Structure 1
Amino acid sequence: MQNPTTTTLGYALSVTRWLQAPLYFGLVTAQGVYVYTFFKELWTLILICVSGHATETYVMLAVLKLVDVVMIANLLITAIVGISSVHLLQMFVDVHHTSHHARAWEIPGVACMHARPHPNG
């Protein structure tokens, strides 16, 4: 039998993840802003190159700006997927029947793969 204090504390910590939901939606919104920024910068680069006004330095800096936007967007995707996979794992896998040691060291994506039944049996 579990200690009531431990159970209450665990439940309280589990419920507080919903306080972070607005932050996650903010990350998704920021991802949308970066997609818009990427296409705006790409379109500007294309227009300047087609018009013949692009210098080598301008093209290099514009491409570096595009790379920067993509790298930040990838970081946002990593954060969003990592956070959501942990919460989905907690929602869809019976964590009470998994050892604490196994839960503590599993990578969320790998843990999700282990949670599904194997197609061959």
Structure 2
Amino acid sequence: MKKIETAFEHLLFSSRWLMAPVYLGLILAMGVLLVKFAKEVWLLLAEIMTASGAEMIIGVLTLVDIALIMNLLIIIIFSGYENFVSKMEDLHSHKDRPDWMGHIGFADLKIKLIGSIVAISGIELLKGFMNVDNLSDRELAWMLGIHLTFIVSGLLYAVMDRLQRGGTPH
């Protein structure tokens, strides 16, 4: 019976590698976002002489939005892989290794995720306000409501995390 238990536990432990293709898929999604980013830069440059200031700001905000999403994906890929699949031991001495890599736990990852969602939502809301003539009051109200929901959710999660850790900062 002990052999069956040990074999099952090894199977459970090895199942973490099923996440590796997910992280590969996120890397491919970053490639897609890179193509979208290049397209947006191209459109921005093509319209530089004819676009209004508001259109330029919306274009730049779109680029910032894509960059934030790609940064978020990097954090999810690195910390998710290290927390749930395998440590990247061979990269510990790499000169370009981010300082946070290997130090972000699951709770820290959720805080960063929520913070990024709030930032992305804020950028979308700002883009909406810059494009206010083309949006209805209802659409703007929904955007604002969703953004405020993200903010409140993030604050509540941070408070719960602080209480769970006994009120001590990370």
Above 0.5 in TM-score?
Answer: yes
The counterpart of 1:62, out of the listed 47, 59, 63, is: 59
Higher Cα Rg, which structure: 1
Q: How does 1:19-98 map to 2 (within 5 A)?
A: 19-49=18-48, 52-86=49-83, 87-89=85-87
**Number of residue-to-residue matches in the alignment:** 92
Distance 1:88 1:66 in 2: 32
Identity of aligned pairs, percent?
35
Determine the structure 1 residue equivalent to 2:102: 109
* Cα 1:6/1:74, change in 2 over 3 Å: farther
Greater length-normalized contact order (CA 8 Å, ≥ 6 residues apart) = 1
Q: How high is the TM-score relative to the length of structure 2?
A: 0.47
Name the structure where helix makes up a greater proportion of residues: 1
Shift of 1:58: 0.4
Moved over 4 A (4+): 3-6
RMSD between aligned residues: 2.6
Unaligned runs of 5+ in 2: 90-99, 105-170
Unaligned runs of 5+ in 1: 93-106, 112-121
Q: How high is the TM-score relative to the length of structure 1?
A: 0.63
Q: Secondary structure at the match of 2:86?
A: helix
